[in-house]
Amino acid sequence: MPLNDDVANADAEPDAAVNKNPDDPLPSDQPVTTSVRGTYRLLKSHGGYAAFLRGFGCIVVYGVAQSIVYGILSSLLPRVLAPFATILSMLCVVQLGAAWVHIIITPKSPLHFWQRLPPFGKTFRATYAATLLYFVAKEASAYAPYLVAKICGLTIPDFSKPHEEWGEDYGDSKKSWVVVPIVLTSIVTWALLQIPSRVVLVRIQASLLPPEAHTIVPFDRSFGGRVEPVVVGGKGYATIKEAIATFGLGSWKRLYMMCIKIFMWWSLLVVAMSAIVMPQLMLMKKFAPPTEGGGDN
């Protein structure tokens, strides 16, 4: 949720005083998404701990609906056209994706998520190009590490075959150094492809927010005067160009720093859990009764 709050927040008001709580650890002239703690307090102030689950039902339905559409399309299309089934399924559920963003960036509403679905036609016109861009970025990010592994001569196991047929080079400790460029490629493509494309998509989805809806973070709906409402002859939503042009350097820095902070918190959590679980597993293995030898009974 912090990602979408910061992505939807336009950079037109970099000095907006969004931190009015005197107990908040951040100065009042800094955006709340500068701090993980500040973002946590902001979300909690809009419904307590239950605020962290806002949009859960919508995102579950979004995932299930996309899976169902993908299953139907993939059964009708040849296997070589599977990527088309993926992108078509994403385009079929654009309303749910936009509604989820609206739920995340606005205060608690008595309306159910299906009552907040934007019109399909308008949502499709606004987001289809950004959805395609995000799909391409995800596919490129997934394929790039595989390509690096192949270039480095690493044998890629074929999971459709038994383990004994994976090849002699698989698991060769002499090629363990290949892990470094693969991991770096994954990080770089994620940072330079997936995040920017996600920023574009979320900002366009946020531009479809109804005029009467309020947001929990400052949001310039005119995108620096580039987006005009429908009542004056405008489109009523942002384009890819406008979404990128109005997301300033300060917003990019805050977004990437937030991603780094969240990754560090998750890493600490994994280390802490490992420190608790691993000794127990070792003790269980040490005191486990010996297994009986194989043989015919």
Rounded average pLDDT over 234-239? 86
Length of the chain: 297
Does the pLDDT value for residue 18 go beyond 90?
no
Rounded average pLDDT over 268-274? 90
Does the pLDDT value for residue 23 go beyond 50?
no
**pLDDT, tens only, 104-127:** 999 988 889 999 999 999 999 999
Quickly state the pLDDT bin for 1 (edges 50, 70, 90).
very low
Quickly state the pLDDT bin for 268 (edges 50, 70, 90).
very high
Write the DSSP string, the chain.
-HHHHHHHS-TT-TT------TT-SS-TTS-GGG-HHHHHHHHHTTTGGGGGGTTHHHHHHHHHHHHHHHHHHHHHS-GGGHHHHHHHHHHHTHHHHHHHHHHHHS---SS-GGGSPPPHHHHHHHHHHHHHHHHHHHHHHHHHHHHHHHHTTPPPP-TTS-GGGS-TTTT-GGGGGGHHHHHHHHHHHIIIIIHHHHHHHHHHHHHTS-TT---SS---TTTTTT---GGGTS-SS--HHHHHHTS-HHHHHHHHHHHHHHHHHHHHHHHHHHHHHHHHHHHHHHHSPPPPPP---
Decide which of 7 and 235 is more confident.
Answer: 235
CA distance 71 to 21: 48
**Sign (positive or negative) of CA dihedral 245, 250, 256, 259:** negative
**pLDDT, tens only, 48-93:** 888 888 899 999 999 999 999 999 998 888 887 888 999 999 999 9
Rounded average pLDDT over 208-223? 87
CA distance 55 to 94: 15
pTM of the model: 0.78
* pLDDT number for residue 153: 76
Average pLDDT score over the chain: 81
* pLDDT number for residue 117: 94
Structure tokens at 186: 């994954």
Does the pLDDT value for residue 195 go beyond 70?
yes
Does the pLDDT value for residue 8 go beyond 70?
no
Q: How far is CA 52 from CA 2, 12, 103, in A?
A: 10, 27, 11
* pLDDT number for residue 5: 52
**pLDDT, tens only, 146-193:** 888 888 877 665 555 555 544 555 555 556 677 888 889 999 999 999
Does the pLDDT value for residue 263 go beyond 70?
yes
- Please give the single-letter amino acid code of residue 211: P
Long-range contacts made by residues 153-157, C-beta under 8 angstroms, separation at least 24? Answer: 153/178, 154/178, 154/182
* pLDDT number for residue 163: 53
